[in-house]
Amino acid sequence: MTDFRDIFSERSAAVQIEVKDKGAALAAAVDVLCRDGKVLDAGKLHDEVIRREALASTGIGHGAALPHVLCDEVSSLMFAALTLKQGVDFKAEDGQKVDLVFLVAGPRGETASHLKLLSKLARLLHDQDFRDSLRAASDAASLASLIYGRE
Query: What is the tens place of the pLDDT at every residue in 3-31?
Result: 899 999 999 999 999 999 999 999 999 99
CA distance 139 to 128: 20
**Residue-level pLDDT at 1:** 53
Q: Where are the domains of the chain?
A: 4-148
CA distance 31 to 45: 10
pLDDT tens column, 69-125: 999 999 899 999 999 999 999 999 899 999 999 999 999 988 899 999 999 999 999
Q: Give the number of other Cβ atoms within 10 Å of residue 85's Cβ.
A: 11
Catalytic annotation, residues: 68
pTM: 0.95
CA distance 114 to 105: 8
- The CATH topology of domain 4-148 is Mannitol-specific EII; Chain A (3.40.930)
CA distance 126 to 69: 21
